[in-house]
Amino acid sequence: MKMKWILRLIFFWFSIAGSAGYAHDFCDPDVLVRQSSIEQQAWTTNSLHATHKAHAVSPARTLKVATWNLNLLNVRGWRTPFYKVNSRRLDKILGQYLAGEAPDVIFLQEVWSENDRKTVRLTAAGYDYKTIDAHPGAGRRHGLQVLYRQGTIVRVADSGFEEFHGQRALFEKIGAVRRGLLWAKIHLDDGQTVLFGNTHFTAFNRYSDVRLMQIEGLRNTLLRLNMDVDTAVIGGDLNIAADFEEAEHFARHVGKLKSTRWLYSQFAEATGLRDTFRAAELNDPGYTFNSLVGGGPERRLDYLWAGELAPHARTHVVRAERKFTDAIDGVFASDHFLVQAVIDFFQIPKP
């Protein structure tokens, strides 16, 4: 029991130390967005692809894709570094979302306990969803699950979990957490193949070097998986607050930390994908971290990225939005908001 509380104190210290700097002043995120060529390029390319649909070889296939970090999905709102607390409202809230929004694919993060993972599988099955749930190995956990429903999606050709090897944070070593990509190659009913990937990068400012290694790990994973794939959608909690100046201030103050803007640009360059929220909503701040629960300023940590891996393939983001931004029965569902995007997948004639 004494060791348990010692470990909790260690985790608490890293949480506080890693989050320091969030109280600094930050500028209007809209200004940063308008100054960024990455977001502008995502919006411009998405607008261009909208015009390509008129020349598609067959009608576009539309999928609603979502990502959600389920941390704190319980009545008391208590968080733990030991990944064993069961979420008391998981079946109810997840079921309401699946029934009301009917996403085609949803990426879930921080589903830590085995009871919660079972609850997700049973709840998903009750709404005719299937679960992709590759295990990282005995005594290890990644907290990731992917749900999908058949219809436009015909079948899963292959799936698995690719671990990002390299440095890990202390709290990840204590919790036996493995960071990586939970992926699936999915066939659509018109013959297109889409690579879907769910990930969760290491949290806290002090671990910017670890996130950079995870970006490189993701790049290498995509290079291994991109054979016979037309398009890709990668989503999850990246813990990269790219739109906010206070994180930049902290990075400059400490000196050794990587700029969050630079990490955001490295992610775009490494994957070749586009930020779907910015592709559809250039000037909406789109906060995904709930400051009322997690503390500090609101910021955008959760993303869906999409793009083409074959020359004839195209994606167009029809719209992007957030869910669970209000409390349910007086308690927020999570300290993260759900992000979802409606995406058209199509092909243009080959030259």
Per the structure, the count of domains in the chain is 1
Q: Is residue 20 part of a domain?
A: no
Q: What is the pLDDT of residues 88-133, one digit of tens each?
A: 678 888 999 999 999 999 999 999 888 888 999 999 999 999 999 9
Residue (of 214, 95, 197, 73) closest to 146 by Cα position: 197
pLDDT confidence of residue 350: 82
Distance between CA atoms of 313 and 333, rounded to whole angstroms?
A: 37
Answer yes or no: are the C-beta atoms of 188 and 151 closer than 8 Å.
Answer: no
- 3 state SS of 329: coil
Q: Is residue 13 part of a domain?
A: no
pLDDT confidence of residue 245: 56
pLDDT confidence of residue 35: 45
Distance between CA atoms of 30 and 285, rounded to whole angstroms?
A: 7
Distance between CA atoms of 247 and 18, rounded to whole angstroms?
A: 11
Distance between CA atoms of 153 and 106, rounded to whole angstroms?
A: 13
Specify the amino acid at residue 94: L
The phi and psi torsions of 101 (rounded to 5 degrees) equal -105, -25
Q: Is residue 7 part of a domain?
A: no
* Neighbouring C-beta atoms of residue 227, cutoff 10 Å: 10
pLDDT confidence of residue 252: 53
Distance between CA atoms of 66 and 303, rounded to whole angstroms?
A: 9
pTM: 0.86
Residue (of 232, 231, 124, 222) closest to 181 by Cα position: 222
Q: Is residue 11 part of a domain?
A: no
Angstrom distances, CA of residue 326 to CA of 68, 154, 333, 338: 15, 35, 8, 11
Q: Is residue 3 part of a domain?
A: no
Terminal alpha carbon distance of the chain: 67
Distance between CA atoms of 274 and 264, rounded to whole angstroms?
A: 11
The residue segments making up the domain with residue 149 are 28-347
Distance between CA atoms of 269 and 262, rounded to whole angstroms?
A: 10
Answer yes or no: are the C-beta atoms of 142 and 168 closer than 8 Å.
Answer: no
Q: What is the CATH number of the domain that holds 135?
A: 3.60.10.10
Residue (of 226, 95, 228, 225) closest to 162 by Cα position: 225
28: tokens are 């209007």
Q: What is the pLDDT of residues 177-218, one digit of tens each?
A: 999 999 999 999 999 999 999 999 999 888 989 999 999 999
Q: Is residue 219 part of a domain?
A: yes
* 183 beta partners: 160, 197
* 160 beta partners: 183
Q: Is residue 309 part of a domain?
A: yes
Answer yes or no: are the C-beta atoms of 185 and 201 closer than 8 Å.
Answer: no
| DSSP state letter for 109 | E
The phi and psi torsions of 318 (rounded to 5 degrees) equal -75, -45
Answer yes or no: are the C-beta atoms of 276 and 204 closer than 8 Å.
Answer: no
Q: Which residues of the chain have pLDDT under 50?
A: 1-35, 74-86, 254-257
Q: CA 65, 71, 76, 78: dihedral to nearest 10 degrees?
A: -170
Q: Is residue 77 part of a domain?
A: yes
- 3 state SS of 66: strand
